[in-house]
Amino acid sequence: LFAEGIDAHPVSGAPYVASIRHRTILEVRADGHVRDLGVSRDWRVGALLGVRVAPDGASLYATTTAHPAMQTSHAADPVGDTVVRDAILRVRIADGAVTGQWVVPDDGARHLLGDLAIDAHGVVYATDSYAPLLFMLRPDQTDLTSMRHPLFRSLQGVAPVPGASRLLLADYSHGLLRVDLDTRTVTRVIDAPGTTSLGIDGIALYGDAVIAVQNGVEPARITRLMLDAEQ
């Protein structure tokens, strides 16, 4: 399967799992039944990495990219172009139809949109591990905007801070970062003595803590990082 991103529906609790290999998203129901949303039938879809349930509960946002581990067969392409582009997709949960695509601008650089998150205002944030850039998709805009900073090197997980114009970002090489969206300043979150936030991949906020997949250290682990009032 080469499972990558995961999110749960806030009402049904059903997890949605993105597959790199099969270029699709799976819905796991409470009775154990697994439904393939069939996203791979759309020729624009490559490997799927991050996935998040949209605020309306009827759609998913996902990141897609060309990846050597994905199955490469595509459905009939009406315009004669089977190149998978790095993009954010909106997928309808009911039938797996791709109802929106926002492509990363072609600037000649290598891109890899990995994780993504959605804040309370419906703004979608996606991290680019290669460029590296933080992309933003606002509900009132049709194009992606981006942000670059010297502390961005290998961006991974992203988590909006509720009630604040801030994000927490995991950078594989630089650790946990705090982003002020109003001023566009980025600061390194100081690690507690004897700990490290290097090698963190996916993150999620849970109360006053960051739950992190830390697979860049030995042994790989699930880590809970408690935040103080300044973070």
Please give the mean pLDDT across all residues of the chain: 92
Its pTM stands at 0.92
Cα torsion 29, 156, 67, 112 to 10°: value is 130
**pLDDT for 156:** 97
**pLDDT for 198:** 96
Stretch 171-182: mean pLDDT: 96
* pLDDT band at 148; cut points 50, 70, 90: very high
Stretch 2-31: mean pLDDT: 95
Q: Is residue 80 predicted with pLDDT exceeding 80?
A: no
CA distance 144 to 138: 8
What would the pLDDT profile of 149-159 be if each residue is shown by its tens digit? 999 999 999 99
Q: Give the residue among 125, 112, 136 at the shortest CA–CA distance from 168.
A: 125
Q: Is residue 12 predicted with pLDDT exceeding 90?
A: yes
**pLDDT for 84:** 84
